[in-house]
Structures are given as C-alpha cells and as structure tokens.
Amino acid sequence: MKVKLVFSQFLIACVAFFASAQAWAVLHLEVTGGIDSGIMIAVPEFSAENTVSQKLSDVINSDLIRSGSFSPMSKDKMPVSQVSGADVNIQDWQGNDLQNLVSGSIVQDGGNYVITFNLYDVPSGSVILSKKAKVSANNLRKYAHMISNMVYEKIVGIKGAFLTKIAYVSVDYKDAYPFRLVIADYDGYNEHIILRSKEPVMSPTWSPDGSSVAYVSFEKRKPGIWIQNIQGKTRQLITSFPGINGSPKWSPKGDRLALVFSKDGNPEIYTIGISSKSMARLTNNRAIDTEPSWAPDGSIYFNSDRGGRPQIYRMTGAGDAQRVTWEGDANMNPCVSPDGKYLALITQAGGSYRVARLDLDTKNLMVLSNSQFDESPSIAPNGSMIIYSTIIRGRKGLALVSADGRFHANLPAVSGEVRAPAWSPFLN
C-alpha cells in the first residue's frame, strides 16, 4: 500500500509538472516547411508505467524538429509506439530510410525517476550512445532537453542549444503595464517576466555569461539603457543622455557595451565600460550609424546610410569602417554568428524585408525567409538557427529559420504581440 501511495504521489507530481510547463508556454510552434529534408530519426515513447513517457518523447521530438537538422518519424508510421532501451528489435526499424532511433525506459525510484536511453545507428544496428540518470520530478523537461542536446551533438557534431533561453518583448495594450521584458526557455516554456512597464521596452541583449540582459527602456518618458540580472530584481542605469540611447550590444568579454547615442548630434556608435563607465566614440560623420554587433574577434559590424541607403559596415577601430554588403536595396540589423563566419541580417528588395545570411568569406548573400516585414534576427549560440520578429496573421510574432534555410517555423504568441527576440549564450 505504501509503495502504491508513493507512486501515485510521484505520478501526480510528474503530470502536474508537465501541465504547469504547458500553461507557461507563451509561444507555440507552427512548422511551415523543411522537416522532410533532415536526418530521419525516431523517438518513440520510453517504456514506463505512466504518461510521463509520452511527454518526455514529445519534448525531444519537438527539439529535434526545431533544430532544422532532423525529420522525426511520425507516431503513426512507427512499427511500435513504445520501446525500452534494453529491449529493441532493431530489425523492426530497418529498411525505411531511418537513420537513428532513440529508445529508453523510465523507472520509479522513490520521488524521482531513473531514466535510461540509447541512441541507435539503425542501418548497422549498433548503439552509439547510452546514458542513465536519476532525475527529480521538477527537472523532467530540463532532462528531456539534455537528451536532445546529447543526441544532436552525437549525430550532427556540434553542441545542441536546447537548454538555452530567449529574451523578448511582449506587448498587450489591454494591460495596465502593456510592455513586458520576458525570459523563457528557447521553446517558449517557463516564461519569466523580469520587467513590466507602461512605456516601451526595446532591444534586449544577453551578457556573454548569460546572467544579465541589457535593454532600452522609455520609463520616465525618455530613453535609457539598463542592465538587469535575470535571476533577481537588481538592475542599473547605464546611460540616459538627451536624445537617442539605443541598440546596446555586449562585447565578447562582457566588460563593455556598444551602443548608439545622438547626444552630440547625429546618431553615432560608442562603447562604454560596464564598471568604469569610460566612453569611446567610434563613428563621426553626417550619416546615421546604428545597430552595432560585436564579432568574436572584437570588430564591430553596424548599419549606416553613409552611402545613400542603409548598408552594413565593419570596423576594427574608430574611423576605419569598410562596407560589407552590396546586394539588395538596403541591408540592416546585422547579427554576427558565434563563430564569426556569417551575418544574419535583414535585406530589403522589392519592398520586402527578409532575413538573410551573408557568408563573410565568400560574400554570398542567401535570403532565408519568405515573409514581408522581418526584423531583429538573433542567432542560436551553436549557429544553427535564427530567431526573428515578423508579422503572423496581422500581429507581431516570432519565427525560426535554420541557418541553411531548409527549416521554417512560426512562433506566434498565445495573446498580444512579441518582438525583439534575443537568443541567450550557452547556459550549461
């Protein structure tokens, strides 16, 4: 009787956890293209005596779909719906172009569970990865993301980004405080509001260590740049000069911000020390210079209309800017990939503003999205995906595209609008 009671309590806790996670998802995934072009993989339910198994496999499947690298097998095409890591007839899964299989088991251990999973190379029938861990009830979803990370890294060869977070601005004009700065898991779950404001909030950007977010706030009816710790209420005002205070971006070492001021006339790019408050002006001309983005080598890409139309330039020091974009009517919103090999940007052509990728070695510009009014691209810390703001059914929402353009998905808000996404660095 005692065992049954413990198990019942455990099951209730697990179900409650996943139900709570669902309730806290402010964004929902709508795949719009590309899932048939990825690596074929199957993630059936793990063997278990409860419904948690289905939830766990659902999280893993969703992660792999969002990565743009995998095409998970649908449940109705699986030879069996549930398998155990130790009891797999691999022949059941061979002969249908399937490349990999994730199987596992969930066993109760008091108030926790023991989760075992195996990753198979289906054509050869061999196990290429095997892991076992004890997981608490409130860490179920996190461990599902960890499994996804391990599978992704083993097969693709680069670190998975499924335990990262995104920051974004949520807007609901029906609320007394319509502007909210939000932190959530990369897939929209576990929403955490770190700022509510009656005035606009813009341009969140993560510190390299993932502990803080810098942003622009118009509280007191004038723009100011703030830094806020995501775990607490502590924050500090960095600048509040007359005119524009905008586009903050952290340096690779996290000791400085690049930003835009108009305090001396035209919008120009400056840097400021986080602790020292020492300031350096990097641009000085009649053009509008804005939207700085640091590269890993310390150079800065930015947007300028000094050539007549907005284009992207690169500088390694004050006054040495060189133009790097030439295609399209205009190019803006540069975001440098974590490895420094490409830019995500917004390119204008024929009245449309779309996400594009510029290879910095070949100078090849590839348009990735097919929407009309995209903005604010931000790259996952492994460089594989780009999140950006766009119009979805007449409202501001978020969208995902793989860096190679094969996978597309919309992430519309459950209510209100969302904009200005910023992908966190690796947090594990």
Sheet hosting strand 224-229, strand order edge to edge: 201-206, 212-217, 224-229, 235-239
Place of tokens 């460089």: 383
The amino acid at residue 234 is T
The sign of the dihedral angle between the CA atoms of 152, 297, 267, 198 is: positive
Give the chain's end-to-end CA distance (angstroms, integer). Answer: 40
The rounded distance, in Å, linking the Cα atoms of 188 and 176 is 23
Do the beta carbons of residue 107 and residue 117 sit within 8 Å?
no
Q: What is the pLDDT of residue 366?
A: 96
Q: What is the pLDDT of residue 50?
A: 65
Q: What is the pLDDT of residue 7?
A: 32
Q: What is the pLDDT of residue 15?
A: 40
Nearest-CA neighbor of 212 among 197, 234, 244?
Answer: 234
Question: All domains of the chain, ordered by start, with CATH?
Answer: 2-156 (3.40.50.10070), 165-423 (2.120.10.30)
Per-residue pLDDT of the chain (428 residues; tens, 9 = 90+): 433 333 333 333 344 444 444 434 567 667 777 666 789 999 999 887 666 777 889 999 989 988 888 989 998 899 987 776 567 889 999 988 899 999 999 988 888 889 999 999 999 999 999 999 999 988 999 999 999 999 999 999 999 999 999 999 999 999 999 999 999 999 888 889 999 999 999 999 999 999 999 999 998 889 999 999 998 778 999 999 999 999 999 999 999 999 999 998 899 999 999 999 999 999 998 999 999 999 999 999 999 999 899 999 999 976 789 999 999 899 999 999 999 999 999 999 888 999 999 999 999 999 999 899 999 999 999 999 999 999 999 999 999 999 988 888 888 887 889 999 999 999 97
Do the beta carbons of residue 383 and residue 165 sit within 8 Å?
no
Query: Is the full-model pTM beyond 0.95?
Result: no
Q: What is the pLDDT of residue 8?
A: 38
Q: Write the CA distances from 61 to 85, 113, 389, integer angstroms.
A: 17, 20, 24
For residue 179, give the 3-state DSSP assignment.
Answer: strand
Work out the number of other CB atoms within 10 angstroms of the CB of residue 78.
19
319: left (phi > 0), else alpha (psi -120 to 50), else beta? left
Do the beta carbons of residue 79 and residue 88 sit within 8 Å?
no
For 28-98, strand residue ranges (E) read 30-33, 39-42, 45-46, 70-72, 82-83
Backbone angles phi, psi at 157, to 5 degrees: 95, 5
